[in-house]
Structure 1
Amino acid sequence: MDWMREKCVMIIDEKLPLGLIANTAAILGITLGKTVPEVVGTDVVDQNGNPHLGIIAFPVPVLKGSSDVIKEIKKRLQDPFFQDIIVVDFSDLAQECKTYDEYKEKMAAMPEQALQYLGIAICGSKKEINTLTGNMPLLR
């Protein structure tokens, strides 16, 4: 990926408690790192020779939105114009499940429109990402 022309953002429901915001960001980040492993930089060494594992090589703004805003963006991402954008979502269903098997089973029986999104991470063309999120404020 050409990070001069690409961008990743997370949008998280601003009404969530702080712990769920942190959990949502962590889950989105882990999945994004698995999906696009080239975004993780090389390991580094400090002046004392201590190693530090590589971290993401560019900023990922965390934006605030409501569950409805996130759902609307998820819906807009179905347009062929956005077909090259990587999308990671985290829903209330996923958060409530105790095991991954439970999640898979319940998701298979859940219509998409019934999901409430806690957060979404999107990665792709800066132009396309900015079209979707350019006017959204940072989550602070």
Structure 2
Amino acid sequence: MVLATKLVLVVRDDLPAALAVNAAAVVGLSLGGRLPDPPAAEGKDASGGVHAGLNPHPVPVLTASGDRLRELHDRARAREDLITVGFNEVARHARDYDDYLTALAATPGEDVEYVAVAVFGPRNRVTALTKRLPLHD
């Protein structure tokens, strides 16, 4: 089954593995809450156990430099047909969400450094923005 939509998670290429996994989880969870359709239906195993429905999209985790992440974020946000979530250094260093919001309000947009970006939308639009980015290894 080929889906008409696509999602990707892109993490900064210089992050240690633990921070990259955390960043991917943060943008993935944040994106999931914004998707227009619910996950796929719940499934049952052969013993009758019920398993929660999962996102039907493949979820590639790609990497990019900090500059490329900013470019991706800005280009994706400019498109009304894409849902874009950015995780930044301001959020990563905040002790709680209120601290994040306060620090973000004091940070000029050009000083926000992205740690990860998630993009969802029409397959061709997402592919055009991310096709040259390598998979995280």
Q: TM-score, normalised by structure 2?
A: 0.91
Q: Does 1:84 align with 2:81?
A: yes
Residue in 2 that maps onto 1:94: 91
Residue in 2 that maps onto 1:68: 67
Higher mean alpha-carbon deviation, 45-54 vs 31-40, is at 31-40
Other structure's SS at 2:37 match: helix
Provide closer, same or farther for how the CA distance between residues 100 and 17 of structure 1 changes in structure 2, counting only shifts above 3 A. Answer: same
Identity of aligned residues (%): 32
Unpaired runs of 5+ in structure 2? Answer: none
Unpaired runs of 5+ in structure 1? Answer: none
Q: Is the 8 A contact 2:77 2:84 kept in 1?
A: no
Q: Which amino acid aligns with 1:10?
A: L
Q: Is the 8 A contact 2:5 2:120 kept in 1?
A: yes
Residue in 2 that maps onto 1:20: 19
Other structure's SS at 2:18 match: helix
Other structure's SS at 1:98 match: coil
Q: Is the 8 A contact 2:3 2:57 kept in 1?
A: no
* Structure 1 residue 76 displacement after superposition: 2.1
Q: Alpha carbon RMSD of aligned pairs, Å?
A: 1.5
